[in-house]
Amino acid sequence: MTYNLAVIPGDGIGPEVMKEAVKVLDFVAKKFDLDIRYTYLKAGGCAYDEFGDPLPDETLNTAIKSDAVLLGAVGGYAWDELPVDKRPEKALLGLRKSLGLFANLRPAVLFPQLADACPLKDEIIGDGLDILVVRELTGGIYFGKRGTDENGAFDTLYYSVPEIERITHVAMKAAMKRNKKVMSVDKANILDSSRLWRKTVKRVALEYPEIQLDHMYVDNASMQLIRKPGQFDVIVTGNMFGDILSDEASMLTGSIGMLPSASLGEGHAGMYEPVHGSAPDIARKNLANPLATILSVSMMLRYSFGLDEAAKCVEDAVSKTLDEGYRTADIAGNSHHIIGTREMGDAVSKNI
């Protein structure tokens, strides 16, 4: 079977980490006899510089026709002064909206080899961390009506019942494959949109009687992630709350450079990217950690291509590489062999 993959390296460290992810994917393709066709596209700041548009039509149209999109990172301070509609981040929002990617899956997993990189005490970590944040991606305050006048500005937080229903189904189905626990996070003591969120989540959960459903206010959830992270398995929440909580959860793993993500819609197509940004300060220095992008490849193999064995092969290769003591600077601790971006890609490839 042929898989058509749209590859968007993006800005900053994006091209560097993408190169290593594709390197690993090539080894996987050879091992499992996969026919993967790459189409390289531009989006973000680099696309604005060349085309005057952060999301050119060719990029969007090709992405829509592809089986999956693999993205590095977009943005950077070089484009901070651009008008809002020309900012690199508009490429992400445009891709998500046009591809119908309403569910963002962000796993926060603390590899046992990196326990010393976690900022929390050992007694808080316990047996380790494995949290999945399911974030609604195309609704909420980021897409609501907004405006600015001489006296102020406003942004509208709006959710429809169907939007809440479909993201709840994603979270419930994910939980069925894990520990059958879902924590819905909202601000139902204050916000009408959150009261609708909680009511709808409760109703959908009736279709999943095996799932233990709990609810938590977002301010308490942000505290509990630090106080007792092991209580969480699957967290489902809205766009802005999910944006913030997933970044908080990511730092419990020791480095944002370890965390992949998947953005999914109704079908099998999806967009896969590391949680980290473009980090222009370390770009082109062979310092970036490519493991988040490599693990995003694993998620792509599982969710879009349905290749669980190949996905696990990537995850096992990453784990074995960590067992061998290889570390990029962000996860080095004090006593490991520090290597660069390219060398980490080589090490994982060797272990495929």
Give me the active site residues, please. 142, 187, 219, 243, 247
Q: Which two tokens stand for residue 119?
A: 């900022």
Residue 229: which residues within 8 A CB-CB, separation 6 or more? Answer: 120, 124, 125, 129, 131, 249, 252
Distance of alpha carbon 205 from alpha carbon 51, whole angstroms = 46
Distance of alpha carbon 43 from alpha carbon 37, whole angstroms = 19
The residues facing 102 across adjacent strands are: none
Annotate 219-251 with DSSP letters as a single string: HHHHHHHHH-GGG-SEEEE-HHHHHHHHHHHHH
Q: Which two tokens stand for residue 111?
A: 């590899």
Distance of alpha carbon 108 from alpha carbon 106, whole angstroms = 6
Q: Which two tokens stand for residue 172?
A: 């419930």
CB 72 within 8 A of CB 297: no
